[in-house]
């Protein structure tokens, strides 16, 4: 086919809301994703029967499996079998599980007590609270009149107001709210207000949740403690324990997965920014002379890791921090960013890889008085290692997997396995086709690996054989048994939760001891002897 023909075909396909299978998928909206997550038991609003609690989410049965699978994949590829180093050498990374509540001195030394702040601005009228650094403002270029604030990426309300005031956005420049001189804040019309002048000046707000240890203290006694805002500090304060007990040699890593808590000013975008979340962090301790080599290595390795889970490279990008974004102790930092549905066409952070120098070990060494230098017996050298930190969100990673997996397709009616067409989310199926929603998780991450169906629920022999097979498969994989409804409907239910394989037991199975295995993505069906079923699944689930 000539190029122009192909283009014509693509255009006509587009007209009908279709995409080529190789096209980049249009990401689902947050409403679509939250709806699916609730309907199919992935993620629920926390405390829902009490009207929820802003910034907190509960993982349902399938969400828990998915999150555990992502956590296990990270642990496997980071701790048990890390990537080979830049010179093809094997790396040494060990695991840790530290307490959520630490001695408050930890947070003093790490700088979190003094500096883990976000600027916030309140609206006196609507009572809404904003991260001041997430607010942007349309500022009149004339220097006179009302300025219109909006949340980053959501300029529509402000633009509507500008049109209503018979003006044009061309007469404005867009500036961050935090850059405004204080006397100009009174001219700003907040996103949820009915008039200008209701936003407060930005104030610093510490993000750490406080709690109290033991019975209520006597007067003057301070028993305040904090829920950890990151897992990393638990690693630094155990660095010496690990060096003393594990015979690790520089360079080496310590990794940890666990809950972190941040009293975010504006939790939003589903599980992207919540107040309780999970992180997967690794601190890579190395000789100061080698730190920049390891920094480059880990930035690339982490990007590749997300791609290895099936995340489309076109949805991932590396963003190097500008110098003015870096913490004072850091010489470099890069984010792995992802194009979420709610950031498209822009990107949002998924993971940060920071070159932290020896800041953390220096701080803890000084504050605790305990020497944290590493002694190299071969060279008789003492060094305070430098640290490269790949820090990613486990719960944010789940959001990426859901975004990536969500697919709408048009399939020829009757589930005949003909050509399927990639659909724009929300578009209607053309004549002769029906829509299916499918979560295309890689089998490694899918919450349920295999579903088992008897063709008919009222034929005892079929049900018994199906249950026997189910009982055998669930010893090895998360499996699901379903005998309700037509087979096509049962396939669709599994498609929507991302189960890669469905096994059907029919009348031929009773005769020749074979079953049909149906592949989620191609919808192809294979006839497999029961004696080979486990090895077939093993091969395809682990490929
Ligand atoms: P952000 O700029 O989005 O607030 P951050 O740069 O403060 O994030 P880090 O402290 O580097 O984040 O934490 C590492 C990772 O932890 C982030 O890349 C993100 O995946 C995750 N994370 C941080 N804050 C939250 C949150 N409130 N909810 C969910 N995940 C989070």
The alpha-carbon radius of gyration of the chain (Å, integer) is 27
Best probe residue, ligand 1, of 349, 356, 390, 398 (max atoms within 8 Å of C-beta): 349
Q: Name beta bridge partners: 224.
A: 212
CA-closest candidate to residue 197, choices 126, 254, 249, 261: 126
For the segment 131-187, what is each residue's pLDDT rounded down to a tens digit?
999 999 999 999 889 999 999 888 999 999 999 999 999 999 999 999 998 889 999
- 298 contacts 353 by C-beta, under 8 angstroms: yes
Q: How far is the CA of 273 from the centre of ligand 1 (A)?
A: 7
Angle at 217 between CA 215 and CA 220, to 5 degrees: 175
State pLDDT tens for residues 179-232.
Answer: 998 889 999 999 999 999 999 999 888 899 999 998 765 555 678 999 999 999
Residues with CB under 6 A from ligand 1: 230, 262, 264, 273-274, 277, 279, 349-352, 391-393, 395-396
- For ligand 1, atom 20, name the residue with the nearest CA: 393
Contact 386, 356 (CB under 8 A): yes
CA distance 450 to 503: 7
**CB of 540 closer than 8 Å to CB of 443:** yes
- Ligand 1 atom closest to residue 392's alpha carbon, by position in its atom list: 15
Which of 261, 352, 360, 403 is the best mutation target for the ligand 1 pocket, counting ligand atoms within 8 Å of the beta carbon and taking the most? 352
Atom 4 (ligand 1) nearest CA: 273
* SS3 state of residue 120: strand
Residue with CA nearest ligand 1 atom 28: 273
Task: Write the residue with the smallest CA distance to atom 8 of ligand 1.
Answer: 349
- Which one, of 281, 364, 349, 287, lies nearest residue 105 by Cα? 364
For 9-31, what is the mean pLDDT?
A: 62
Indicate the pLDDT class of residue 4, thresholds 50, 70 and 90: very low
Measure 257 CA to ligand 1 centroid, in angstroms: 14
Dump pLDDT digits (tens) for 63-119.
999 999 999 999 999 999 999 999 999 999 999 999 999 999 999 999 999 888 888
Question: Mean pLDDT over residues 420-441, rounded?
Answer: 88
pLDDT for res 497: 98
Give the C-alpha separation, 417 to 83, whole Å.
39
Angle between helices 30-39 and 394-405 (to 10 degrees): 100
Q: How far apart are CA 350 and CA 396, in angstroms?
A: 7
Strand partners, 203: 120
Q: Is the dihedral of CA 447, 451, 457, 462 positive or negative?
A: negative
Helix 61-75 to helix 394-405 angle, to the nearest 10 degrees? 110
Label the pairing between strands 252-261 and 276-286.
Answer: antiparallel
Between the CA of 329 and the centroid of ligand 1 the distance, in Å, is: 19
- 285-323 pLDDT, tens per residue? 999 999 999 999 999 999 999 999 999 999 999 999 999
Sheet holding 129-131, edge to edge: 129-131, 117-122, 203-206
Give the integer Cα–Cα distance in Å for 488 and 377.
Answer: 67
The pLDDT tens digits of the residues spanning 315-342 come to: 999 999 999 888 888 889 999 999 999 9
Q: Is the pLDDT of residue 369 over 50?
A: yes
Please indicate whether residue 531 or residue 415 has the higher confidence score (pLDDT).
531
% of the chain residues with pLDDT over 90: 81
Say if residues 467 and 483 touch (Cβ distance below 8 Å). Answer: no
Q: What pLDDT does 6 receive?
A: 33
Lowest-confidence segment of 18-32, 75-89, 329-343, 501-515 by average pLDDT: 18-32
Give the chain's largest Cα–Cα span: 85
Which atom of ligand 1 is nearest the CA belonging to 267? 27
Q: What is the mean pLDDT of residues 427-438?
A: 89
Look-up of token digits 């993971």: 351
- Provide the edge-to-edge strand list for the sheet that holds 514-519: 479-481, 450-454, 501-505, 514-519, 525-529
pLDDT band at 419 (very low <50, low <70, confident <90, very high): confident
CA distances from 418 to 13, 284, 430, 454 (A): 17, 50, 15, 24
Spell out the domains of the chain, with CATH numbers in brackets.
Answer: 117-206 (no CATH), 448-541 (3.40.50.800)
Q: Going by C-beta distance under 8 Å and a sequence separation of 6 or more, which residues neighbour residue 20?
A: 10, 13, 422
> Is the four-CA dihedral 525, 526, 529, 531 of positive or negative sign?
negative
pLDDT at residue 417 greater than cutoff 80: no
């Amino acid at each position: 086919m000539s190029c122009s023909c192909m283009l014509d075909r693509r255009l006509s396909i587009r007209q009908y809301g279709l995409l080529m299978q190789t096209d980049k998928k249009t990401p689902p909206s947050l409403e679509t994703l939250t709806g699916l997550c609730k309907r199919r038991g992935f993620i629920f609003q926390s405390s829902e029967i009490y009207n929820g609690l802003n910034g907190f989410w509960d993982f349902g049965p399938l969400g828990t499996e998915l999150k555990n699978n992502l956590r296990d994949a990270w642990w496997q590829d980071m701790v048990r079998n890390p990537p080979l180093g830049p010179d093809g050498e094997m790396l040494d990374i060990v695991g840790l599980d530290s307490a959520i509540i630490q001695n408050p001195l930890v947070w003093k030394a790490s700088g979190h007590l003094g500096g883990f702040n976000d600027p916030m601005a309140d609206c006196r009228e609507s009572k809404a609270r904003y991260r001041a650094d997430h607010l942007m403002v349309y500022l009149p270029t004339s220097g006179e009149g009302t300025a219109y604030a909006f949340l980053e990426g959501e300029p529509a309300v402000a633009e509507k107001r500008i049109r209503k005031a018979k003006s044009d956005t061309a007469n404005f420049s867009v500036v961050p709210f935090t850059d405004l001189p204080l006397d100009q804040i009174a001219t700003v019309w907040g996103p949820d207000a009915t008039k200008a002048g209701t936003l407060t000046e930005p104030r610093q707000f510490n993000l750490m949740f406080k709690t109290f240890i033991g019975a209520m203290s006597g007067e003057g006694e301070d028993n305040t403690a904090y829920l950890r805002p990151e897992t990393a500090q638990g690693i630094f304060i155990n660095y010496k324990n690990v060096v003393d007990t594990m015979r690790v040699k520089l360079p080496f890593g310590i990794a940890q997965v666990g809950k972190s808590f941040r009293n975010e000013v504006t939790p939003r975008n589903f599980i992207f920014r919540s107040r309780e979340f999970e992180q997967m962090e690794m601190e890579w301790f190395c000789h100061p002379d080698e730190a920049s080599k390891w920094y480059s290595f880990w930035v690339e390795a982490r990007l590749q890791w997300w791609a290895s889970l099936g995340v489309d490279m076109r949805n991932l990008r590396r963003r190097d921090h500008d110098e003015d974004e870096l913490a004072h102790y850091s010489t470099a930092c890069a984010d792995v960013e992802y194009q979420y549905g709610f950031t498209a066409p822009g990107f949002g952070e998924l993971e940060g890889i920071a070159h932290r120098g020896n800041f953390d070990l220096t701080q803890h060494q000084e504050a605790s008085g305990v020497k944290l230098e590493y002694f190299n017996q071969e060279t008789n050298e003492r060094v305070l290692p430098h640290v490269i930190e790949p820090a990613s969100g486990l719960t944010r990673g789940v959001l990426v997997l859901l975004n990536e997996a969500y697919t709408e397709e048009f399939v020829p009616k009757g589930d005949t396995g003909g050509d399927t067409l990639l659909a724009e989310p929300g578009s209607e199926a053309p004549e002769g086709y029906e829509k299916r929603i499918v979560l295309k998780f890689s089998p490694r991450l899918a919450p349920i690996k295999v579903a088992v169906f008897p063709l008919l629920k009222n034929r005892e022999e079929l049900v018994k054989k199906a249950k026997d097979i189910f009982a055998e498969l669930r010893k090895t994989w998360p499996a699901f048994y379903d005998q309700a409804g037509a087979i096509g409907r049962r396939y669709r239910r599994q498609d929507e939760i991302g189960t890669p394989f469905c096994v059907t037991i029919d009348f031929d199975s009773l005769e020749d001891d074979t079953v049909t295995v149906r592949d989620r993505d191609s919808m192809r069906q294979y006839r497999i002897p029961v004696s080979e079923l486990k090895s077939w699944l093993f091969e395809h689930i682990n490929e």
